[in-house]
Amino acid sequence: MQKDIAALAKILNIPLKPGGHLEQAVVHRSYLNEHPDFPLAHNERLEFLGDAVLELVVTEYLYTTYENPEGELTTWRSSIVNGDSLAVIGQNIGIEPYLYLSRGEEKDSNSKARRYILANAMEAIIGAIYLDFGWDLSKEFILKHVVSKLGDIIAERSYIDPKSKFQEAAQSRLSITPSYKVLEESGPDHQKTFIMGAYLGKDLVAKGEGTSKQEAQISAAANALKEKGW
């Protein structure tokens, strides 16, 4: 089904360039598996380009705006260009209805895979804007939709990952270092799911789930922070 790319350009607040790259930016590889005659390629090359443009704009902004050490600037940059952040930005802008996806991906709207697709589409859209309109409009778009989140991230210290936050809070409040244990493990070797427990001493504070132990630990730590009200 053809998407209304003119409507997508409107919500992105960019011109619609005839023969431009915007439509390709929202074509996921899975769609082409079901529609091999579709005239456009998937968006992965645009994503590659957009990732580089995004990182340079954010890096330039951080360098010229803050005099903090390199390590802090790197952490802040990571917090606003990571996949979860870009997926949320894509959802808030409203790009999801314009994605070309396979029937299976269309149905799987709340999965980790969908967040990954959204994040990649955002990078591909940035790549398309860069190719079609150049640096200035790309920079304007990134500053408006991505860099604008930085103030809240710094104020809320959300650039600190949940495991570090939980450890910092537990040590300062209780003089205890949290520990983590695998509570459940399921699925085949190539697609495992882990449930980890976050503990303070012998007390289980919260559980978290993920496709790796590290991801499940981060989820458990985030849930523990909520449970403790920290």
Domains 5-156 and 162-228 share a fold: no
Residue ranges of domains in the chain: 5-156, 162-228
> Quick one: pLDDT band at residue 99, thresholds 50, 70, 90?
very high
Q: What is the pLDDT of residue 147?
A: 95
Task: Please give the C-alpha separations between residue 140 and each of 61, 149, 188, in angstroms, as whole numbers.
Answer: 12, 14, 45
- Read off φ and ψ for residue 37, nearest 5 degrees: -90, 0
Q: What is the pLDDT of residue 86?
A: 94
Topology of domain 5-156, CATH:
Ribonuclease iii, N-terminal Endonuclease Domain; Chain A (1.10.1520)
Contact 188, 204 (CB under 8 A): no
Q: What is the pLDDT of residue 189?
A: 80
Q: Compute the average pLDDT of residues 189-209.
A: 92
Closest CA to 228 of 171, 154, 156: 171
Contact 203, 178 (CB under 8 A): no
Q: Is 83 exposed, middle or buried (0-12, 13-18, 19+ CB in 10 A)?
A: middle
Over residues 200-216, the pLDDT tens digits come to 999 999 999 988 898 89
Over residues 22-79, the pLDDT tens digits come to 999 999 999 999 999 999 999 999 999 999 999 999 999 999 999 999 988 998 998 8
Q: Name which CATH class applies to 162-228.
A: alpha beta
Report the distance separating Cα 190 and Cα 34, nearest Å: 24
> Quick one: pLDDT band at residue 98, thresholds 50, 70, 90?
very high
Higher-confidence residue of 130 and 109: namely 130
Instruction: Scan for tokens 């209805």, then name that residue.
Output: 97
Closest CA to 98 of 79, 78, 118, 83: 118
Q: What is the pLDDT of residue 185?
A: 93
pLDDT at 160 over 90: no
Report the distance separating Cα 149 and Cα 147, nearest Å: 5
Catalytic positions, please?
A: 51, 123
